[in-house]
Structure 1
Amino acid sequence: MNNNHMFIELLSEVDFLFEDFFLWLAGQYDAESGGFYYAKSSVSDVRFKPDIESTAQALNILIRNELLKDMPAVIQNKMIHFFQSKQIQQTGYFYDENEDMKKDEVMVHRAISYSAGALRKLNSKPLYPLPFQANSAPDYVKSPEAYMEKWESIDMSNSWRGCDLLANSCFYMLDMPETDREPYITKATQYLEKIQDPVTGLWGQGSLYVKISGTFKLHTFYSKLNIQMPNTDKIYKSILHCLRTEEAVDMCYIRNPINLLSYMNVQISIDELRDIIEISVQNMKRLKRKDGAFSRELERSPSAPNIAQIKHGKYYPNMPPPVHLSQGLLEGDMNASTQAVLIRLQLYQLCQLKAPRLNEQFPFYSYIS
């Protein structure tokens, strides 16, 4: 069998998993706010509102399926207003209505990146200066030494959570003038090289999947700043070993290795690539739900995705309060579903094939107008 034919046959199994997916996505839209809900159980429950991360993730799904260009102006304007309305004028930060969000440093930083990024994709921008420009950024960004003191204080006993804290704080570096950020970047890269495991190429502690997930978080630092991640050959061997020997109980455990492989651009043999695809497809099938979408975990969709990563690793000190977005049922959720879309595209990319459009016959916007 021709290698292309073999990979197309394997990847067609992934495509089949997206039957009814866009109908589910349409059902998550809130026409009043212009945002998207996290899960089906969020829509009918007055405790939950459309949130920043779910709305940005839904936008990414639309973009990855070439639907942004067809977005009606009224929907685009509502979505722009959704993100802009979340920004605080005095500080430049973006917050959801749930007050507990402000207590999770990772969620605060992600909200800035998600909101500013979504507005840029929608050909708009924040209404007010972002935190660094508004002089409301944390004290640790005031000098490279203070930045490193902050990084060195981060507990790496759970690689996923620790690396998430490291990587998301890099937003402030990106917001600095280029000449100002250089000493920060130098110290940051030196520190990461010092704490990287020289055998596995991974960072921090925890299970293999937890450490790979932490390493995935750090790739955003390297990729956004156009820096070569060290020891990618060792990271690749760790990923391959993990995929072949560990159980993927979370959609992140499927997405994070594939995302790393796409970023690292390492040499992958035909047999290894076949294994990677087959394992990923089987893992995705276990997380496909009857509502048409995918859930983060095997047993349920976590109601508070900000603590899902923590429970898979060792206990993390000073755990933030859970930010509940749904009832936590066995259902699809936006977090897992946007990852599933990306996994599919990156599997095609690893095979050097163009992914066909999934939504060719589905009039998405007629369902949410």
Structure 2
Amino acid sequence: MGRNRRLEKLLEDGDRWFEGFFEWLDGQYDVASGGFYYAASSRRTNVYGPDIESTAQALNILERTGLIGRWSDRMRRKAVRFFQARQDPDTGLFYHADPNMRLDGVSVARALGYSLGALRMLGAEPLHPVPERSPATPAYMESPAAYGEWLRSVSLSNSWRGCDIIASSAVHLLALPPEKRAPYVREAFAHLNRIQDPESGLWGEGTRYVRISGTFKLHIFYERFGVPLPRKAEIYRSILETLREDEATDMCYIRNPISLLASMRLAIPAEELEEICEMTLRNMGRLKQGDGGFSRELGHSVPAPNVAQVKPGEAYPDMPPPIVLGLGLAEGDMNAGTQAVLIRYALRELAGLPVKHFAVADHLFTDRWEE
């Protein structure tokens, strides 16, 4: 069997990890609100309702897998109302019912991006404009100099968390008109290019997976402003060494390297590409749960994904309060599920294979409920 065919078969065999996944995903849908729950325990407790991120992530899965076309107009209208109802008219931002969300700037930025993206996907608009400045705009946006000072103050003692904080500032930069945005962007990339490790290509401190995850967050920031990611060859070597030598205990540790590789578009030697795919699928399979979903961490879901970047025994200054979405049981969760799907499609892209969707039962994701 030729190497290309062997790689294709390896990836096709990897689809076995998705047996039961789409039944699990369909089961997270909430008919009343038009949103999706984070995990099965979220529904059972009757406390953690459908949330912004889980709903947007579910919609992204449906779009990526070609299943969003099964949704009826009624289901689309419900989803539009779900997001529009969570927009604050004073700030234009989107919030969960949990008041802790307003205390976490990263989560607020993520909710804004997710909500606007979901509404665009559904052919709708937010009810209220997202202003250039609002009561929720951070103080660091007062001037480019203030932004630069803030950037230099962000701790990268945990690269993943620190780089996520920096990357989340993109939503505020993008709210500015281009002529006002330019000096902020210059501040950002002057700082980031200066502090990148020239040997590893990574940013910040922590374990190698933590540093790769931080680098992944910054690659999104670079992409949003059309700036090439520096030192791609060094980043590739760091990823390959980490995959070979370190244990991946978090779905993000599995997804983030693959998304980085897919975005960097390097010419990866065939033997190494096959090795990368094999290691990634093996690691992903370890997070498969009995309910059909995938868990964020090895053996269990995480109850509050907004603080899951900093693991037990690690520390980071001024961590926000947890935004609890589930019970953290041995169960699938939406955060891990969306990443597993991203991994599957990214591996096919890396292998140069055409897009191939899953075979999903016809009754799933259809409007089969009473009003």
**Deviation for aligned residue 1:131:** 4.3
Equivalent in the alignment of 1:271: 271
Tell me, yes or no, if the aligned pair for 1:148 and 1:187 is still in contact at 8 Å.
yes
| Cα distance between partner residues in 2 of 1:366 and 1:228 | 41
Equivalent in the alignment of 2:182: 182
**Deviation for aligned residue 1:166:** 0.2
Residue range with higher mean Cα deviation, 88-97 or 353-362: 353-362
| Cα distance between partner residues in 1 of 2:146 and 2:16 | 50
Normalised TM-score (structure 2): 0.97
Q: For 1:245-260, what aligned pairs fall within 5 Å after superposition?
A: 245-260=245-260
3-state SS of 2:194 partner: helix
3-state SS of 1:187 partner: helix
Matched letter for residue 258 of structure 2: I
| Cα distance between partner residues in 1 of 2:313 and 2:95 | 27
Equivalent in the alignment of 1:282: 282
**Deviation for aligned residue 1:46:** 1.6
Equivalent in the alignment of 1:205: 205
Tell me, yes or no, if the aligned pair for 1:167 and 1:221 is still in contact at 8 Å.
yes
Matched letter for residue 177 of structure 1: P
* Pair 1:230 & 2:230 matched: yes
Equivalent in the alignment of 1:307: 307
**Deviation for aligned residue 1:263:** 0.6
Q: For 1:17-96, what aligned pairs fall within 5 Å after superposition?
A: 17-96=17-96
| Cα distance between partner residues in 2 of 1:313 and 1:56 | 31
**Deviation for aligned residue 1:196:** 0.5
- Percent of aligned pairs sharing the same letter: 50
Equivalent in the alignment of 1:102: 102
Equivalent in the alignment of 1:166: 166
**Deviation for aligned residue 1:3:** 2.3
3-state SS of 2:45 partner: coil
**Cα distance change of structure 1 residues 293 and 368 upon mapping to structure 2, 3 Å threshold:** farther
Equivalent in the alignment of 1:152: 152
| Cα distance between partner residues in 1 of 2:148 and 2:15 | 44
Equivalent in the alignment of 2:121: 121
Normalised TM-score (structure 1): 0.97
Matched letter for residue 92 of structure 1: G
| Cα distance between partner residues in 1 of 2:313 and 2:126 | 36
Matched letter for residue 239 of structure 1: I
**Cα distance change of structure 1 residues 78 and 191 upon mapping to structure 2, 3 Å threshold:** same
> For structure 2, which runs of at least 5 residues remain unmatched after alignment?
none
Equivalent in the alignment of 1:355: 355
Tell me, yes or no, if the aligned pair for 2:57 and 2:335 is still in contact at 8 Å.
yes
Matched letter for residue 13 of structure 2: E
| Cα distance between partner residues in 1 of 2:117 and 2:313 | 29
**Deviation for aligned residue 1:267:** 1.6
3-state SS of 1:366 partner: coil
**Deviation for aligned residue 1:362:** 3.4
> For structure 1, which runs of at least 5 residues remain unmatched after alignment?
none
Tell me, yes or no, if the aligned pair for 1:158 and 1:313 is still in contact at 8 Å.
no
| Cα distance between partner residues in 2 of 1:290 and 1:161 | 30
Tell me, yes or no, if the aligned pair for 2:75 and 2:367 is still in contact at 8 Å.
no
Tell me, yes or no, if the aligned pair for 1:80 and 1:124 is still in contact at 8 Å.
yes
Tell me, yes or no, if the aligned pair for 1:31 and 1:368 is still in contact at 8 Å.
no
| Cα distance between partner residues in 1 of 2:368 and 2:304 | 26
| Cα distance between partner residues in 2 of 1:173 and 1:313 | 34
**Deviation for aligned residue 1:334:** 0.1
| Cα distance between partner residues in 2 of 1:313 and 1:29 | 35
Report how many aligned residue pairs link the two structures: 369
**Deviation for aligned residue 1:25:** 0.6
| Cα distance between partner residues in 1 of 2:194 and 2:208 | 20
3-state SS of 1:180 partner: helix
3-state SS of 1:299 partner: coil
Tell me, yes or no, if the aligned pair for 1:94 and 1:112 is still in contact at 8 Å.
yes
